Structure 1
Amino acid sequence: MAADFSSLPILDFAFISDNTRHSEFIAQLRHALINVGFLYLKNHTVPQPLIDRLIDFIPRLFDLPQSAKDDILMSNSPHFLGYSRLGTEFTKGKADYREQFDFATPHETQWRPGAPVHLRVWGPSQWPNPVLIPDFRETIENYLKEVQALSYQFIRLLAEALGLRSDALAKFYDSDDLMQHRAKVIKYPANDGSLTNQGVGPHYDAGFLTFLLQASPHPGLQVQNLSGDWIDAPPIPGTFVVNIGKALEFVTRGLARATSHRVLSPPVSSTPRYSVPFFQNISLNTCLSQEVLDFPPDILKLKDQRGHPAQTDSVNFTEFDREPSGKVNLIGRIKSHPDVAERHYPDLFKEYFPDGLPQHISTY
């Protein structure tokens, strides 16, 4: 087995423009994809002044009057976009001690009556009252546009690192007008542990890539290594934490590794931890089980050298072998947000919650 990791690798995005160091970046990326599933990315393309503006907005967003936040509750949205109150999501039966807003890149839903229901999972965001927080929407939409561009550039490098043509993964995306990528703005308040010490419990991400902005200096993010030990991933200014989702793991037949992770709440004497994960989606209609990627033998053998990661109890995604990506996405959101499902997807709600709204919600 390859040596287990005790910290996350730090990759310098500037290397890709340096002919003498491009291959070094690709080798480092290959190692991170196959053996770790997580990495820090520095010197990326998202302008730091834009990041700083977004970070400045985050406390003000959560300091809005409760009535203003409740005006855009996620339960209003069939697209699972909007505000979630503290402690309303659960992972593995325990409350996630976080408050959050879900936003997304601009998209007009493609769903119409009679169309596959999973097309309805994408659509317009709900936005807070601009009188109360002027320029916030423009700032975060510009931020999402920049991270989206970085994510597409990064996926080409990822393909190169796995021995494929740089455009080999392009078939998993639709044209820009048919795509939507999502983000959360999250507040992890200080927690005395009386309810739970988990900001969010052990889980995997669903899609291809996640780009996480750790927007305050608080530690808390932990990544599970091959042996099952929890490794700290503290904030490093000027970086994103990038990780692999279950869809990419599935389509690469486990070559790229999705890695279990969690967030611990800040201690009771702390200020809140803030973060902004960006989730890069793939086409709602793509069926990963029907797509085959052929990797060079010298790349495939790296998976065997890695060995098998320890078993985890992290929440997982198991339908990629039989459902289109959008249906897998929708099932996960139905299970995470049954209040939204009951209002907007009554048939699926009855399928997954035949006894009605559960007392506790289990994040999928």
Structure 2
Amino acid sequence: MSSPSTSFTSIPILDFSLTKSPTTKNAFLSQLRHSLINVGFLYLSNHTVSSAVIDSLLEYIPKLFALPQEAKDAITMANSEHFLGYSRLGKELTKGKVDRREQFDFATPHISRWKEGDPDHYRLWGPSQWPSEDLIPGFRSVFEQYLNQVQDLSDHFSSLIAESFGLDPEALDGFYDSPEKMQHRAKIVHYPVTHDGSDQGVGPHYDAGFLTFLLQASPHRGLQVQNLSGEWIDAPPIPGTFVVNIGKALEFVTSGLARATSHRVLSPTGTTPRYSVPFFQNIGLDVKLTERVLTFPPEILALSASRGRVGATDSVNFSEFDKEPSGKVNLIGRVKSHPDVAEIHYPELFKQIFPTGHSGGASAY
């Protein structure tokens, strides 16, 4: 168990504008290194994503969830072999409890490369389903602008992570496919106010990939991060920032230097719903993390050795990265989270994971 001196009690705020000058960049890299090793979460201010695009998106989000139910159901995720589309409230569970959220899954533009004979996980990436332009004009254009800009930010951020660990800026490039083959995912999430005593918006979990960039799209508290001692630390919305956190894949390839941190979302109290927009940066579908070994300077490795041991967390770990390509790991996660979709589009994998079928409840990571 970690000692109190090494267990964080707040989430650090990093000023991205420091990276623009050689005189301040090293200060940013030092702060980033601390955040990666000791916290696994950070706020990023003065980033490069357009505030005008973000403001436009924030105006659209309540309108998106106010669409007629039949319009939302028309793009239900069950239509999509790519697990993209709309999910009704309560369709997912974490650790056996219902996640109280309604959501749309979208992704950066992509044409599926899968062809007969290819592995199933190639089918995971493909085009999004979008609500009718007549019902919410301009939404798709604004959100695709947003996704493209966050994608560019995440690419730059990966190079800064490499530098902060004493590596060349390009050290992580080999974990990504060429740009035309990559796809990244995002959700737009609605957490309604609950009155039934349940406060689980999303239960304790880790993210799977390299990086998550979260836009907290309403002023509600709810996001909590589990520190090294197992305590839950609030990560309240800070206007103009992203919350950035580390996924299990990045923890794996950095030999635990960058730590994935358990987190959850509590349902909002009061009278208005909470909204959020997480962007999940993927890595290449065929990448096997055990086949790409990074070598770090001894002085960097020593920093994690002084961190202290991580206490017991409430989250489920990802156990497949040591034996399966990244795309297969993510596909397994999607099947477990959305078995109703998997039963339609991936019947063989569905039977492997749910040999006796499923009862309608899905166990999300």
Supply the distance in 2 between the matched residues of 1:52 and 1:25 (Cα, whole angstroms). 27
Structure 2 partner of 1:304: 305
Of 136, 143, 146, the residue aligned with 1:143 is: 146
- Number of residue pairs matched? 362
- What displacement does 1:46 show? 0.3
Supply the distance in 1 between the matched residues of 2:360 and 2:184 (Cα, whole angstroms). 30
Question: Could you tell me whether the CA contact under 8 Å between 1:50 and 1:139 is conserved in 2?
Answer: yes
Structure 2 partner of 1:243: 245
**1:292-325 CA distances to partner (integer Å, 9 max, x unpaired)?**
0000000001111001111113122110000000
Map 1:1-364; keep pairs closer than 5 Å: 3-194=6-197, 196-267=198-269, 269-364=270-365
- What displacement does 1:212 show? 0.2
Extract unaligned runs of 5+ from structure 2: none
SS in 2 for 1:101: strand
Code of the residue aligned with 1:58 in structure 2: it is I
Supply the distance in 2 between the matched residues of 1:292 and 1:164 (Cα, whole angstroms). 13
Using structure 2 for the length normalisation, give the TM-score: 0.98
Structure 1 vs Structure 2 CA RMSD: 0.9
Question: Could you tell me whether the CA contact under 8 Å between 2:105 and 2:185 is conserved in 1?
Answer: yes
Question: Could you tell me whether the CA contact under 8 Å between 2:6 and 2:308 is conserved in 1?
Answer: no
- What displacement does 1:164 show? 0.6
SS in 2 for 1:21: helix
Supply the distance in 2 between the matched residues of 1:53 and 1:316 (Cα, whole angstroms). 36
Code of the residue aligned with 2:108 in structure 1: it is T
- What displacement does 1:71 show? 0.2
Code of the residue aligned with 2:303 in structure 1: it is L
**1:186-209 CA distances to partner (integer Å, 9 max, x unpaired)?**
000001143x21100000000000
Supply the distance in 2 between the matched residues of 1:359 and 1:239 (Cα, whole angstroms). 37
Code of the residue aligned with 1:81 in structure 2: it is L
Return 1-10 or 140-149, whichever deviates more: 1-10
Supply the distance in 2 between the matched residues of 1:5 and 1:270 (Cα, whole angstroms). 32
Code of the residue aligned with 2:210 in structure 1: it is F
Supply the distance in 2 between the matched residues of 1:131 and 1:54 (Cα, whole angstroms). 17
SS in 1 for 2:215: strand
Supply the distance in 1 between the matched residues of 2:117 and 2:21 (Cα, whole angstroms). 51
**1:119-165 CA distances to partner (integer Å, 9 max, x unpaired)?**
10000000000000000000000000000000000000000001111
Supply the distance in 2 between the matched residues of 1:157 and 1:354 (Cα, whole angstroms). 44
Supply the distance in 1 between the matched residues of 2:231 and 2:72 (Cα, whole angstroms). 38
Code of the residue aligned with 1:245 in structure 2: it is G
**1:157-182 CA distances to partner (integer Å, 9 max, x unpaired)?**
00000111100000011111100000
Supply the distance in 2 between the matched residues of 1:205 and 1:358 (Cα, whole angstroms). 25
Which contiguous aligned blocks of 4+ residues in structure 1 show a shift greater than 6 angstroms? none
Supply the distance in 1 between the matched residues of 2:204 and 2:155 (Cα, whole angstroms). 27
Question: Could you tell me whether the CA contact under 8 Å between 2:253 and 2:289 is conserved in 1?
Answer: yes
- What displacement does 1:88 show? 0.6
Question: Could you tell me whether the CA contact under 8 Å between 1:127 and 1:137 is conserved in 2?
Answer: yes
- What displacement does 1:357 show? 2.3
- What displacement does 1:356 show? 1.5
Code of the residue aligned with 1:264 in structure 2: it is L
Question: Could you tell me whether the CA contact under 8 Å between 1:315 and 1:363 is conserved in 2?
Answer: no
- What displacement does 1:245 show? 0.2
Using structure 1 for the length normalisation, give the TM-score: 0.98
SS in 2 for 1:100: strand
Question: Could you tell me whether the CA contact under 8 Å between 1:222 and 1:233 is conserved in 2?
Answer: yes
Supply the distance in 1 between the matched residues of 2:201 and 2:213 (Cα, whole angstroms). 18
